[in-house]
Amino acid sequence: MHDMRVILEVARGQAPPRPSAGFTDELWSLCLKCWSRNPELRPDMGRVVRTLERLGPQA
């Protein structure tokens, strides 16, 4: 999916379709949380960084 399409989907409040490869369940879950319409449900950058560090190179 093209980057601009992802941006438009998220701006409309819709998650783009999950890519068929390259995203673990945990990484996709993190993406969905980051795209939440409710700011209270979005992780802060510290949490994002810790999650990505824990996931390692596959992230």
Q: Is pLDDT above 90 for 40?
A: yes
Looking at residue 12, what DSSP letter applies?
T
Confidence band of 2 (pLDDT split at 50, 70, 90)? confident
Rounded percentage of the chain residues whose pLDDT exceeds 70: 95
Cα dihedral 51, 17, 22, 58 in deg (nearest 10): 0
Residue 1 binned pLDDT confidence (cut-offs 50, 70, 90): low
Contact yes or no for 52/44 (Cβ under 8 A): no
Rounded mean pLDDT, 47-55: 96
Domain ranges of the chain: 3-58
